[in-house]
Structure 1
Amino acid sequence: MDIDRSMIGLSSKPYTAVAEQEKARRFAEAIGDPNPLYEDESYAGQTVYGETTVPPTFLIALGNNAELPIRLDVRRMLHGEQAFIYHRPVRFGEKLVCTMSVADIYEKEGKSGAMQFLVLDTEMTDENGQLVAVSKNTIVYRPAKKPEKGGERN
C-alpha cells in the first residue's frame, strides 16, 4: 500500500507502557551509556532530576507497541529520523498511556525517484492525563517495485 496525506490524523488505540528500571538499565548498557543517573539513587538525588530517570532515548522502547489502522509493508520502511520532546522526566515504575498518530506525510525527490516520508508521533501521558513526552519518528517509505516488463526471468 502506498501512503497519502488522507492518512494524516489516523491514530492507534491507546496502550500502556511501564518504564521498568531493569529494561532501562539494559537499554543504557546496549547503547553504551554508563550515566549513573539511570541507576544510582544517591548520585541522581544530587542532580536537577532529584531521582533516577530513564535514558533520553529509552522512549523508543516504550513507544513501539502501537497498532495504526493502516497496513504498511515493513519491507519498504526505512528509519529516517527520531526525536524526543520531554515535558518532564520519566520516572521508573511510571505507567505511560501511549497513542501513536500519523502527524505528516510528504514526498521528496531522491536520486532514484520520489520518496515518501511518514511522520509518526507517539504521545505519552501519565495516569492523570498530563503530557510527559512525545516520540517523533520519521520513516522513509520506499516506492513499491514495479513488475518487470516481459514477464519472469529465468
Structure 2
Amino acid sequence: IYFDEETGRKSRYQTNIAPPTFPRTFDYGDIEGLNLPNKGLIHGEQTFHYERPLKVGEEIFCYSKVKNYFEKKGNFGEMGFLILESFGEDAEGGLIFSSTSTVVISEAVRKVLVK
C-alpha cells in the first residue's frame, strides 16, 4: 500500500498512503527564537498520531511548536530535553497527523548555546 500503485488502488483508500513515520522527513519551518545547532543533538523518542492516512501526492501544511523544556543531571553533565509538537494539515486546515518528539541536548551542546 505504500509503494505498489495497484495495491493502493485496490485498497480502501483507493491510492497509496505514506508510511507511518514519513512525516519525519517534512520541513516544519522555524520556531522564532529557537536556534538549535545542526550537529550534536540527540533524537530521543517520537510518536505519531493520525486522524486519517496521509495520501501520496497530497499537499500538506506543516508546523511545529515547543511543548516543554526541562533539564536533568546525567553522567555526562546537565542534559536538556526539548519536547516539540508537530502538525500536518490538509489544504482545508483539517488535521491529518500530529507528532511529539524529544530532542536531547547534551552538556557540550548546551555550553555552545549559552555563550
TM-score by length of 2: 0.80
State the AA in 2 paired with 1:66. G
Structure 2 gap ranges (5+) = none
Count the aligned residue pairs. 109
Task: Tell me if 1:71 matches 2:35.
Answer: yes
Structure 1 gap ranges (5+) = 1-36, 147-154
Shift of 1:41: 3.2
Superposition map of 1:114-153 within 5 A: 114-143=78-107, 144-145=110-111
Cα RMSD (Å):
2.0
Where in structure 1 do 4 or more consecutive aligned residues deviate above 6 Å? none
Shift of 1:46: 4.0
Instruction: Identify if the C-alpha distance between structure 1 residues 42 and 75 changes in structure 2 by more than 3 Å, giving closer, same or farther.
Output: closer
Greater share of strand: 2
Superposition map of 1:87-106 within 5 A: 87-106=51-70
Instruction: Identify if the C-alpha distance between structure 1 residues 73 and 42 changes in structure 2 by more than 3 Å, giving closer, same or farther.
Output: closer
Mapped to 1, the partners of 2:8 and 2:40 lie a distance apart of 42
State the AA in 2 paired with 1:68. I
Mapped to 2, the partners of 1:92 and 1:130 lie a distance apart of 17
Mapped to 2, the partners of 1:87 and 1:103 lie a distance apart of 20
Identical aligned residues as a percent: 33
Shift of 1:106: 1.6
Q: Secondary structure at the match of 2:57?
A: coil
Mapped to 1, the partners of 2:28 and 2:62 lie a distance apart of 9
Deviations 1:74-96 (A, max 9, x none): 33421111221111001122111
Q: Which has the higher contact order (CA 8 A, sep 6+)?
A: 1
Q: Does the Cα contact within 8 Å between 2:15 and 2:56 map onto a contact in 1?
A: no
Shift of 1:65: 4.1
Deviations 1:98-153 (A, max 9, x none): 1110011122221122211001111111111110001222100122348xxxxxxx
Q: Which structure would you say has the larger Rg?
A: 1
TM-score by length of 1: 0.62
Shift of 1:48: 4.3
Task: Tell me if 1:85 matches 2:46.
Answer: no
